[in-house]
């Protein structure tokens, strides 16, 4: 009897989380706010929200666990500020709303190398989000730090495609942490965390993702 909220269900990782949550008999309801509508499903509640004016008092925030896979890139967002508005402020707002409505578990897609003191905007922002989430006193907080995310995207990201191809070719020679992580395996870790993670803060590193499946 678990209700799960997925933030970022139209994305690569979020799409797998959605697919797996809808197929999971432990999950009775999936709340997935998105900017564009998702295909209907009997278990799915899909509020359409532009996120800039996200309602914080709606009852649908009242779930058991949250999976957050929102993210953008500086290039796509257009500026460092716009990137931080999505990768820090928006994700924190989701976490605050769900926590205020009684959610107990939060599972975040962060990144390998996340560090609030990093010189790099991306890693610094991810690290700052991790720190801010710890400050919200989640009974259970799981931070997943994948390496490069492997999977097919509708959108063309040339650099990621090249990196993915290189990583697949070199995989046998690379340490596990540097091989990249398939999006469906990341999704599996996130969903399990949102359903069953014990209390406390848990960090899942790139080389731990998919371990239970290999
Ligand atoms: N790419 C990598 O190799 C890599 C490596 C490590 C960590 N990560 C991190 O892992 C996470 C998931 O990655 P992914 O590849 O699955 O991401 P993705 O496919 O780009 O999906 C991003 C999701 O965030 C949503 N989003 C972006 N901007 C938004 C906004 N302004 N308002 C509302 N929703 C917004 C998107 O919604 P729309 O469909 O409406 O745009 C989409 O659902 C991200 O945080 C990413 O930074 C990525």
Predicted confidence (pLDDT) per residue in 155-168, tens digit: 666 666 665 666 56
* Domains observed in the chain: 2-208 (3.40.50.720)
Q: CA-CA distance, 92 to 129, in Å (whole number)?
A: 7
> Residue 128 in contact with residue 108, Cβ under 8 Å?
no
Q: CA-CA distance, 27 to 63, in Å (whole number)?
A: 11
Residue in this structure with the two tokens 């509708």, named with its chain if needed: 154
Distance from Cα 179 to the centre of ligand 1, integer Å: 20
**Is it the case that residue 138 has pLDDT exceeding 70?**
yes
The preferred substitution site among 71, 97, 151 for testing ligand 1, maximizing ligand atoms within 8 Å of CB, is 71
End-to-end CA distance of the chain: 29
Predicted confidence (pLDDT) per residue in 70-86, tens digit: 999 999 999 999 999 99
* b/e code 1-40 from CB counts within 10 Å (16+ = b): ebbbbbbbbbbbbbbbbbebbbebeebebbbbbbeeebee
- The alpha carbons of the chain give a radius of gyration, in whole angstroms, of 16
- When pLDDT is cut at 50, 70 and 90, the band that residue 154 belongs to is confident
Q: What region, left, alpha or beta, does residue 35 occupy, with left being phi > 0 and alpha being psi -120 to 50 degrees?
A: alpha
Distance from Cα 204 to the centre of ligand 1, integer Å: 19
């Amino acid at each position: 009897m678990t209700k799960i909220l997925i933030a970022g269900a139209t994305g690569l990782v979020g799409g797998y989380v959605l697919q797996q949550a809808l197929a999971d008999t432990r999950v009775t309801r999936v709340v997935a706010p998105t900017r564009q509508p998702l295909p209907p499903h009997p278990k799915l509640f899909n509020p359409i929200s532009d996120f800039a004016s996200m309602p914080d008092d709606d009852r649908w925030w009242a779930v058991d666990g949250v999976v957050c896979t929102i993210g953008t890139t500086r290039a796509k967002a257009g500026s460092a500020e716009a990137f931080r508005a999505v990768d820090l402020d928006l994700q924190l707002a989701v976490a605050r709303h769900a926590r205020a409505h009684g959610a107990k578990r939060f599972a975040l897609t962060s990144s390998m190398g996340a560090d609030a003191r990093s010189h790099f905007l991306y890693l610094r922002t991810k690290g700052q989000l991790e720190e801010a989430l710890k400050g919200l006193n989640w009974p259970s907080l799981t931070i997943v730090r994948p390496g490069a995310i492997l999977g097919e995207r509708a959108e063309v990201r040339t650099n990621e495609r090249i990196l993915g191809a290189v990583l697949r070719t070199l995989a046998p020679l690379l340490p596990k942490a540097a091989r990249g992580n398939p999006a469906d395996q990341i999704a599996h870790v996130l969903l399990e965390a949102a359903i069953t993670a014990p209390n406390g803060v848990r960090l899942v590193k790139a080389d731990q993702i998919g371990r239970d499946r290999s």
